[in-house]
Amino acid sequence: MTAARIGLIGTGYIGRAHAIALRSVGTVFPDVEPPVLELVADTDAARAETAARELGFRRSTGDWRTLVVDPEVDVVVVCTPNHLHRDMALAAIAAGKHVSCEKPLALSAADAREMARAADTAGLCHLVGFNYAVNPLLVTARELIASGEIGEPIGFHGRYLEDYLADPGLAFTWRCERALAGAGALADLGTHLVDLAHGLLGDIARVAARLTTVIGERREPVSGRARRVENEDCAQVLVEFANGVPGVVDVSRVATGYKCGLAFDLFGTRGSLRFDQERMNELQLYRNDDRAGLRGFRTILAGPEHGDYRPFCPAPGHGLGINDLKVIESRNLLAAIERRRGDVRAPGAAPDFHEGARVQRVIDAIERSHADSAWVEVPANGGVGR
């Protein structure tokens, strides 16, 4: 096989995470051809050159447009602020490149739909960065639900709580500006939670939401000028899945004490499942039919029996980390590209742009619900998806 040649746009935290994963993926998953880190782009050419040296890329550029049309690049990885995702991904697709794009896929469901259609029309692989969903224990959770281990699902409590903007003294950033970020906590955190919920229970069909901006004003970092925060810090949402299961979703970027509080409780007629990303190597299972006096949640530790854990470590309980999830995500994309080389009709990567569009339809509906103070139906597919 010919190794896929990677072009990475964005050298911040998440760009570096992708680079680490792409450098590791061939070692962890030897059945995948290790990619070539060909070209990295940043808005500052000097910063891009430094990143190329530190991250192991052959070349660098200060212009992302140069990267997407470079003939030595096969795959474009988009790790930039939200408002740039659409134009960068569409330009890469137009140039015949496979695309991996960080979440949220776009600022609106319409834009996300356009991106998914364009990628499909071009016959290219596409993936959106919902890395938490590839955790081997969450794959196990989905298998337990599908097998009926906890009976019929009857309720979902999901939350993604962090405190990275809890300090009112923190400066105004692009995440607080509507034109650059779109939604606030919903775009940054809620998209992960909605994707996780979709994987467990299927599509969300309707929502009733209340959004709150707790810290309404922040100061610009250079001028010190006060600016209004233009999107929400918190979201509380009642949801109903297409299969009729009711749920509650809670999202916050000002939840003091939480660092990566992506978690859920899923209740069934025969038992329950519980997960917390801050303890990402543990899944808790409760069974109603355990003997009286011994009933309680049991902790399942991640181990080699749980699919993609084994290539990292042969022993249970040692644990995976966040960058390992990016390695699995990279494997999913590269494996899909290799399949497509052999058969253009082969399945693509997952989660793909269609899932990104599905998630964005839910986010848009949540915002409409808050504006209208009413339950809002989530469009079934908006003309895209499978």
Judge contact between 39 and 7, C-beta under 8 A: yes
Q: Is the pLDDT of residue 353 over 50?
A: yes
Judge if 337 and 298 occupy the same domain: no
**Does residue 374 belong to any structural domain of this protein?**
no
Q: Across the chain, what does the average pLDDT equal?
A: 96
Looking up residue 128, the CATH number of its domain turns out to be: 3.40.50.720
- Percent pLDDT > 90 in the chain is 95
Instruction: Please say whether the dihedral angle defined by the alpha carbons of residues 182, 186, 188 and 194, taken in this order, is positive or negative.
Output: negative
Exposed, middle or buried by CB within 10 Å (0-12, 13-18, 19+), for 264? Answer: buried
Judge if 142 and 104 occupy the same domain: no
DSSP strand pairing (226-228 vs 59-61): unpaired
Neighbours of 227 (CB within 10 A): 14
Spell out where 213-372 has E strands. Answer: 217-219, 226-228, 234-241, 246-252, 261-268, 271-276, 282-287, 298-301
Judge if 124 and 244 occupy the same domain: no
Which of 191, 284, 283, 176 has its CA nearest to residue 226? 176
Judge if 166 and 68 occupy the same domain: no
| Residue 333, both tokens | 């994309």
Judge if 292 and 334 occupy the same domain: no
* Number of structural domains the chain divides into: 2
Which residue has tokens 């916050």? 252
Judge if 102 and 192 occupy the same domain: no
Looking up residue 197, the CATH number of its domain turns out to be: 3.30.360.10
Q: Report pLDDT digits (tens) over 258-283.
A: 999 999 999 999 999 999 999 999 99
User: pLDDT class for 1, splitting at 50, 70, 90?
Assistant: low
- The residue ranking higher by pLDDT, 293 or 230, is 230
Which of 363, 361, 342, 360 has its CA nearest to residue 125? 342
Q: Report pLDDT digits (tens) over 86-144.
A: 999 999 999 999 999 999 999 999 999 999 999 999 999 999 999 999 999 999 999 99
Name the CA radius of gyration of the chain, rounded.
21
Q: Report pLDDT digits (tens) over 364-378.
A: 999 999 999 999 999
Q: Is the pLDDT of residue 386 over 80?
A: no
**Does residue 361 belong to any structural domain of this protein?**
no
| Residue 321, both tokens | 């980390």
**Does residue 44 belong to any structural domain of this protein?**
yes
At 212 the pLDDT is: 98
Judge if 146 and 266 occupy the same domain: yes
At 157 the pLDDT is: 98
- Amino acid present at 279: R
Judge if 110 and 167 occupy the same domain: no
Which domain range does residue 305 map to? 136-279+281-320
Spell out where 86-152 has E strands. Answer: 98-101, 126-128
DSSP 361: H
